Amino acid sequence: MTNMSASPAPSLAKNLAATEKKTRDKAVKAVAAFLADDASVAAYSKADMDKLWKALFYCYWMSDKPLVQQALATELSELLMSINSTEHALRFLRSFWETTVREWGGLDRLRMDKFYMLVRRYVNAGFRMLARAKWDEDSCKEYQAMLRERGCPLCPDDNKVPSSLAYHLADIYLEELEKALNAAPSPSPAPLTAVLEPFISLAALTANNRTYDRVANSVLRPLLNAMRTALKAPPPQESERGERKSKRVRLDDAARSVLTPAYPTLFANARLSCSAEEVQPLKLAALRTGVVGLIFEQASKEETRDSNRRKLYDIWKEEMDEEEFALPPSGSARDAR
């Protein structure tokens, strides 16, 4: 491993996997100090980064007791936010995903739940990192690539990728996006179709029916259903309007009770793409139109599997039957009926 000049620990990888918790804790703090130094991280090769992440993976492996695991999962995820450069942070995040996919098969049943927690923390940290970068277009494209390319958790045709990891991502993705936006004092509008694209691509290309169903039932349908319900919710009372913050959607109690889960911060702070020309939040109806259009567009692509194409068209038809939407630019949506 390249000499980590910013680190006070000369045998960092060994210390990260030490049996003594105090030794591991010191090593994690040394990693944080190293990652905060841009020059040191810039000199780090991909091979070095992968070695570092393997050591961090087994540092977490060695942790026991729920409270200790929770604290360490949070500390490890904050390593991403300690990196000042978005470019270097993306390299670090990609190495996390590739290492997690590579090492996942070695997890036993007892350790699986705690690694689900680490994955959840990193999904959240990844969104916070992109929000910090104002959802820069190049950063969003790299984020998509690190999820869907070979060796990555949402790759549709890599048999080495564990399906349980993709399922967990589907289950938590929207929830953690909502949390990440809600944690920001004034969040930059998230490009909704850009962050959804890896899942819509997986839904189109996977040969696994269970994987398709998980994406449809944990990501696509819940989001569209929540949008539909929010659009039908009664407007806030006059007394509520004065209390409402500029970038928050406040639904009445009846509407909130049927949104499971609800994404009010996302709905108030989202745009369709990460284009530099689109910087303001869109109204919810326009967002829903855009998501429905993206599903139609993906279903129309030549590389989409025929069986998956029919299912994606079914989702699109359900939304079109509910309410008329603007047609996507790629063609006449009515031709799919």
Q: Give tens-digit pLDDT for 24-62.
A: 999 999 999 999 999 989 998 999 999 999 999 999 999
Q: What is the mean pLDDT of the chain?
A: 86
Structure-block tokens of residue 312: 């994606």
Task: Say whether 27 sits in a helix, a strand or coil.
Answer: helix
Would you say residue 177 has pLDDT above 70? yes
Q: Residue 7: which pLDDT band, with cuts at 50, 70 and 90?
A: very low
pLDDT of residue 246: 46
Angstrom CA distances, 227 to 219, 220, 266, 267, 286, stand at: 12, 11, 10, 8, 10
Handedness of CA 140, 141, 143, 147 (dihedral sign): positive
Per-residue DSSP letters for 31-52? HHHHHT-HHHHHT--HHHHHHH
Looking at residue 250, its amino acid is R
Q: Grade residue 234 by pLDDT with cuts at 50, 70 and 90.
A: low
pLDDT of res. 237: 56
Q: Where does the pLDDT of residue 262 fall: very low under 50, low under 70, confident under 90, or very high at 90 and above?
A: confident
Report the alpha-carbon distance of residue 144 to residue 260 in Å, rounded: 26
Q: What is the pLDDT of residue 251?
A: 43
Percent of the residues in the chain that have a pLDDT greater than 70, as a whole number:
83
In the numeric block, the tokens 């449809």 are attached to: 216
CA distance 298 to 15: 47
Amino acid at 61: W
Query: Considering only 20-24, 45-49, 101-105, 237-241, which range has the smallest mean pLDDT?
Result: 237-241
pTM: 0.86
Angle at 193 between CA 147 and CA 137, to 5 degrees: 70
Beta pairing, strands 270-271 & 190-191? parallel
Q: Which of 63-72, 156-165, 178-187, 304-313 has the lowest mean pLDDT?
A: 178-187
**pLDDT of amino acid 37:** 93
Residues paired with 95 in a beta bridge: none
Q: Do residues 79 and 32 touch, judged by C-beta distance below 8 A? A: yes
Rounded to an integer, the average pLDDT of 254-279 is 74
